Amino acid sequence: MKKIPLVLIPGLLCDGVLWKDQAAALSRIAICTITDKHMHHDTIGGIAEAIVAEAPSRFALAGLSMGGYIALEICRRFGERVDRLALIDTSARADTHMQKDRRESLITRCREGKFENVAETLYPFLVHASRLADSTLRREVIDMAGRIGPENFIRQQRAIMDRIDQVPNLSTIDCPTVVVCGEHDQITPLECSEEMAANISEAELVTVSNCGHMSTMEKPERVSRIMHQWLTQKRSSRN
């Protein structure tokens, strides 16, 4: 069987470790490319363009959190290139004023030299309550943030704050889509995934129980199985 080109987009303060289990689990059916373009451009649109510039002519696409914002922008601009779409723990909505204020507060802390505390502060909101004492997972998440660093973090936050509302564009997505959300995601709550699934014609919503925002790391086997099914399902006759 010919392997499927699959582009994986990490989220805010995340690198390839976010997807390492899925890349390994899907390696028999997919050629997985974990992009790092989310660290090198100032806008969601600029990141989207950079990813597509290096992608195959047709590819499957998956993004988590900020990665999902970028994936939706790729679909808006280059939808004909996207063969399948996975939106994981993300949202199509633009930031509210309150969310922007929170991001500005984190940026201020970084500029004051307090970046090292940012990941520690965010961790309880990123994972399910049952994983708060998981020292291995905590270290992986915090180490990822350290590799991203304060300058990239600020750049990413600015890009996220300036992104557009993608809800009106969801109905234009016509490829097989899976929307995945941790049952207890505090960053992009389940209602955000329900909204996306309801507005994308071929979307399936899958909820991951006992899981927070970092589903690919909290429940790697479960998410890998979901993605395997998504990649191997037959396309409808409309596509």
* Structure tokens given for 30: 């997919």
HEC string for 113-182 = CCHHHHHHHHHHHHCCHHHCCCHHHHHHHHHHHHHHHHHHHHHHHHHHHCCCCCHHHHHHCCCCEEEEEE
Level-2 CATH architecture, domain 1-239: 3-Layer(aba) Sandwich (3.40)
Asked if the model's pLDDT at residue 237 lies above 60, the reply is no
Task: Tell me the mean pLDDT in the region 87-93.
Answer: 98
116-153 residue pLDDT tens: 888 899 999 999 999 999 999 999 999 999 999 999 99
CA distance 192 to 207: 12
CA distance 72 to 239: 19
pLDDT, the chain, mean: 95
| Best CA proximity match to 176, nearest among 157, 210, 201 | 201
pLDDT for the residue numbered 116: 86
Reported as type and span, the H/E element at residue 33 is strand 30-34
160-175 residue pLDDT tens: 999 999 999 999 999 9
13-36 residue pLDDT tens: 999 999 999 999 999 999 999 999
CB 141 within 8 A of CB 114: no
Task: Tell me the mean pLDDT in the region 36-43.
Answer: 91
Asked if the model's pLDDT at residue 236 lies above 90, the reply is no
| Best CA proximity match to 152, nearest among 50, 11, 54, 2 | 11
Give backbone dihedrals phi and psi of 49, rounded to 5 degrees, phi first.
Answer: -65, -40
Asked if the model's pLDDT at residue 239 lies above 70, the reply is no
50-87 residue pLDDT tens: 999 999 999 999 999 999 999 999 999 999 999 999 99
CA distance 163 to 186: 20
CA distance 68 to 145: 18
Comparison of pLDDT for 204 and 116, the residue scoring more: 204
Counting every residue, how long is the chain?
Answer: 239
Asked if the model's pLDDT at residue 1 lies above 80, the reply is no
Q: Are strands 59-64 and 30-34 parallel, antiparallel or unpaired?
A: unpaired
Domain boundaries, the chain: 1-239
Tell me, yes or no, if the pTM score tops 0.75. Answer: yes
pLDDT for the residue numbered 202: 86
CB 65 within 8 A of CB 18: no
| Best CA proximity match to 229, nearest among 15, 65, 70, 22 | 22
pLDDT for the residue numbered 39: 87
Strands lying side by side in the sheet with 82-88: 30-34, 4-9, 59-64, 82-88, 177-182, 203-208
* Structure tokens given for 17: 């470790």
